[in-house]
Structure 1
Amino acid sequence: MALGTAPAAANPKYAGIVIDAKTGKTLYAHEADQQRYPASLTKMMTLYMIFEALERGKVKLDTRVKFSANAAKEPPTKIGIGAGKSVTVEQIIYSLVTKSANDASTAIAEHLGGSEAKFASMMTAKARSLGMSKTTFRNAHGLPNSGQVTTARDMAKLGIALREHYPRQYKYFSARSFKLGGSTFGNHNRLLGTVRGVDGIKTGYIRSSGFNLVTSVVDRDRSIVAVVMGGRTGASRNAQMKDLISRYLLKASTRGSGNLIARGAVSNMEVASSAFELPRVGPIPERRHDGDARIALAYAAPTPAPVVGREALAKSLQAQKIAIPIPAPALVPPMPVDTGAADSIDPVTTASTASMSGWMIQIGATPDRDSALKLLARAQNQGVKALNGAEPFTMAYAANNGQLYRARFGGFDGQASAASACKALEKKGFACWATAN
């Protein structure tokens, strides 16, 4: 079965499309009109709204955006701005494009819309005006919400609209890194600089969506926008995208005016009607954040301990009012065979519960599971390349005076890579050691 041409049966998460950006012709489609969860592809619309506000003079690039307590407490990935502090609109843009920062998304949503809910309504209205008939937004960042849905075709439309409507601002999508204070954040889009013609746009991942990617390609006189949603890993998603580009870029027209997406009306790109029942993912509770827990580091010896099970962790998270996705049945995906480690893109560490084996690293142990997850999130926020593809998880450990929870990363391909990750984290001030289960 040829990759990118004939859909394999039955991975309910996968959807893909390739659009000729000059003519609007669909060059490839699989489940392109079936609803999926956008994850951080949501930030494409957040950025569209920012670009529109800039064009209309509502904000300037140097306008300061203050972070509320609500914005500051968003889960990773984030840039870690404290409540009451501010950054510029341009820094918000860079943080969304590269780091895919959830805290920055909420901050700009509150700045432009007055509240997250109001801004989400504005985003949905804008989606309708662009012809994105099957897209609904409930937040500005893409964290789990059962009502936040889209389709591969709608995301392709949004990608084309960003290019067509805001060509000056579109340059931000090609940024390879972004500096803020003493930190440098790399772009999650691994295709930038590695695949000829790729100039953006956005990655996305939550457990209920799988690994998503919208890619724009301009090579000589041809141009396409391609979407892959529901990848099993970041590596297999990227491989599928590369395959689609190699197969369909040369089939794109060398002629055509573009101008496919009208700013305030339904576009002339085709829309097929269909129905699809998404797996249920409970909406984020109104109060999403608990207070900061005290992190007491207790480095336990590497003795065998049971991995915290999904059901036990689910009950705990539900008691804490933290939403977790319910995965769809595991079926055969129409993705290439994964030959590399998974890219950890836009991770939601509160859902990291999978069993681990092989080489892993431990960065601490805490009195409660939530604190262990926070410690893992803090490590992920350091931009350590050696953690790319590593899976954060917790393990229960019976200590003399009670139970501790180990904060670990798994999925390393050997002792050398695990040791390398520890070395990088130790430079960031973390205690770390490598072990094998």
Structure 2
Amino acid sequence: MKKRWKRTSILLALLVIIYVGIQPGMLVGKPAIKAASAVLMDAGTKQIILDYNGSNQVSPAGISKIMTELLVMDAISNGEVNWDDPVAISQYASSVGGKQLSLKQGDRFTVRELFNVVSLYSANDATIALAEHIGGSESAFVDAMNRKAAEIGLSERTHFANSTGLHTELLGPHRPDAIQGDSSMTALDACNLAYYLIRHHPEILKISSQIQVSMNQKGMYVSNTNWMLPSIDGPYAYDGGDGLKTGFDQEDGYHFVGTAERSGKRLISVVFGSETQEGRFVETRKLLNYGFTSKQ
């Protein structure tokens, strides 16, 4: 009787293990991702640890600003501009839609102030002002964005139509005629772009990990939209998290390119198309936990 009970207990335990292992939505040995696409990279080796629909195109929204950040930091490194250079807000920048800070035409801010609010808050008016300052015009800056994409090996499925990632109809009444069409990006390309930015300008992580930045002339503070920063100490805080960029598109949902470092190991994650603002961080946590605990 005891032997039979023992065999029955073992059988039941095995059935439970098998059932748990094949729950709907579970990937064998990997986290189930509730998003349109996701990618996880080991930044030390550039190995792609997880690729879930990573080559699918989406509207990147604020994620495209990672390329804007890269070109600004390149210009700083090359001595073309300085952090303290004044930048005038144009009529076009002051009238753009989406997330913005209501900057007024003729207002002047430093490159550093505008860059900070682009990095933390994804402000579209600040983004256009920087693009016009660096490129001479936004269209010239966009040409440089696409040249850089080709230079660093991003796929043809990634294309920049403007500096902000906004759909054309949100660019406002003063959008230049040369700015046409919508941007597109894949999760794999977003991951490779983030890798390139962090590798060539590691100081971006000091900027992207700030909780708040100030706009002195406006007398206001702008908070970081990355809720995974440990210093924010909220329910989504993640030990070792220090970047990088959020985005939202009305059609494709909530995006997040995250990065974290633990014990000398840095991971870069991309979540495209989460249904909720919080969901992009929940899915990122799954990716990062998998990357830090699995043996590659």
TM range (shorter): 0.7 to 0.9
SS in 2 for 1:188: coil
Greater relative CO (CA pairs within 8 A, separation 6+): 2
Aligned partners of 1:23 and 1:41: how far apart in 2? Answer: 23
Aligned partners of 1:170 and 1:136: how far apart in 2? Answer: 25
Q: Pick from 207, 215, 218: which aligns with 1:172?
A: 207
Please give the per-residue CA displacement for 1:189-237, whole angstroms capped at 9, x wherever unaligned: 1111110011100000011221000001111121110000000001111
Aligned partners of 1:236 and 1:168: how far apart in 2? Answer: 28
Same amino acid, percent of matched pairs: 29
8 Å contact from structure 2 (residues 89, 107) kept in 1: yes
The one-letter code sitting in structure 1 at the alignment partner of 2:26 is: A
SS in 2 for 1:202: strand
Please name the residue that 2:163 is paired with: 140
8 Å contact from structure 2 (residues 248, 255) kept in 1: yes
Q: Which runs of 5+ in 1 are unaligned?
A: 254-437
Please give the per-residue CA displacement for 1:288-341, whole angstroms capped at 9, x wherever unaligned: xxxxxxxxxxxxxxxxxxxxxxxxxxxxxxxxxxxxxxxxxxxxxxxxxxxxxx
| Structure 1: 4+ residue segments shifted above 4 A | none
SS in 2 for 1:199: strand
> Would you say how many aligned residue pairs link Structure 1 and Structure 2?
250
Q: Which runs of 5+ in 2 are unaligned?
A: 1-24, 169-180, 231-236
Matched, 1:219 2:262: yes
The one-letter code sitting in structure 1 at the alignment partner of 2:209 is: S
Give the Å deviation of 1:179.
Answer: 1.2
Matching of residues 410-429 of structure 1 within 5 Å: none
Give the Å deviation of 1:245.
Answer: 1.0
Please name the residue that 1:2 is paired with: 26
The one-letter code sitting in structure 2 at the alignment partner of 1:141 is: T
Please name the residue that 1:240 is paired with: 283
Matched, 1:195 2:195: no
The one-letter code sitting in structure 1 at the alignment partner of 2:206 is: K
Deviates more, 1:90-99 or 1:164-173: 164-173
SS in 2 for 1:137: coil
TM-score by length of 2: 0.80
Matched, 1:155 2:180: no
Aligned partners of 2:162 and 2:279: how far apart in 1? Answer: 28
8 Å contact from structure 1 (residues 222, 250) kept in 2: no
8 Å contact from structure 1 (residues 162, 170) kept in 2: no
Please name the residue that 2:82 is paired with: 60
What root-mean-square deviation, in Å, do the aligned CA atoms of Structure 1 and Structure 2 show? 1.8
The structure with the greater share of residues assigned to helix is 2
Aligned partners of 1:221 and 1:43: how far apart in 2? Answer: 27
Give the Å deviation of 1:251.
Answer: 2.9
The one-letter code sitting in structure 1 at the alignment partner of 2:106 is: G
8 Å contact from structure 1 (residues 223, 252) kept in 2: no
SS in 1 for 2:278: helix
TM-score by length of 1: 0.55
Please name the residue that 2:40 is paired with: 18
SS in 2 for 1:234: coil
Give the Å deviation of 1:7.
Answer: 5.9
